[in-house]
Structure 1
């Protein structure tokens, strides 16, 4: 990406973040005013964030995440503050944790994989069926 494309990419990230926050808010059945009150920000400011007109600080994202009861890390990634964590990073962290027993590590990994499969199925049931067929034939 050239330097002249960077502002457009940043604006796209801000719009994507705003849309994501709006989706989470409507999914949680919160009005704009309710979320603004819970997050401790003004109603117009939150509206501007949702419309992609303002880029909130990490502190504001933390408050919005708490109000929506979602991970602040998710919002940080959407905002471009953090890089998205790869799936194998989590597995590696679990496997490297010396405070966990082997059965605990296996259980955590199994739960994680099952949650991801459910989530992927919700997003695209056709892809999940194809992946399941591929795994079964292997």
Structure 2
């Protein structure tokens, strides 16, 4: 029997690139909607043509890093957030708390980033000097 002809199942490399285009487009549309900015307004703010921006949002075009940076500026969110969404950057390591912060649709990208920065600073501090409970117990023992 001859080799079976492979039937496209939506999992090939080209399909994955198309999915990334749709994902970033949907993400941009969601951010624009959250910011209550029209497509035309974002087009002006970002310096990207209205038809091109529309094609990005519909997943028909995959924007370059430079275009994503312009869009991020127009949306007043971090370019890194768009780069991660577009698959240009890897998602920062997380856990349940960072994942929950990133998933919260009620927070702006700026608010999410500030919360993540504070959370990570606490984690670094605790790793350097032990956990807060341990520090408190050690301080109580030295007073006795």
Report the Cα distance in structure 2 between the residues aligned to 1:85 and 1:44, rounded to whole angstroms.
32
Pair 1:49 & 2:56 matched:
yes
> Cα deviation per residue 1:8-38 (whole Å; 9 max; x = unaligned)?
1111111010000000001101000000000
Report the Cα distance in structure 2 between the residues aligned to 1:19 and 1:110, rounded to whole angstroms.
23
Structure 1 residue 84: deviation in Å?
Answer: 1.0
Gaps of 5+ in 2: 1-10, 96-113, 121-144
Aligned residue for 2:109?
none
Structure 1 residue 110: deviation in Å?
Answer: 9.0
Aligned residue for 2:93?
86
- C-alpha change, 1:10 and 1:111, in structure 2 (3 Å) is closer
Per the normalisation by structure 1, the TM-score is 0.61
> Cα deviation per residue 1:104-130 (whole Å; 9 max; x = unaligned)?
xxxx9997339xxxxxxxxxxxxxxxx
Structure (1 or 2) with the greater helix fraction: 1
Aligned residue for 1:32?
39
Aligned residue for 2:70?
63
- C-alpha change, 1:109 and 1:25, in structure 2 (3 Å) is closer
- C-alpha change, 1:66 and 1:109, in structure 2 (3 Å) is closer
Pair 1:21 & 2:28 matched:
yes
Structure having the higher Rg = 2
Gaps of 5+ in 1: 89-107, 115-138
Structure 1 runs (4+) deviating above 4 angstroms are 108-111
Aligned residues: 92
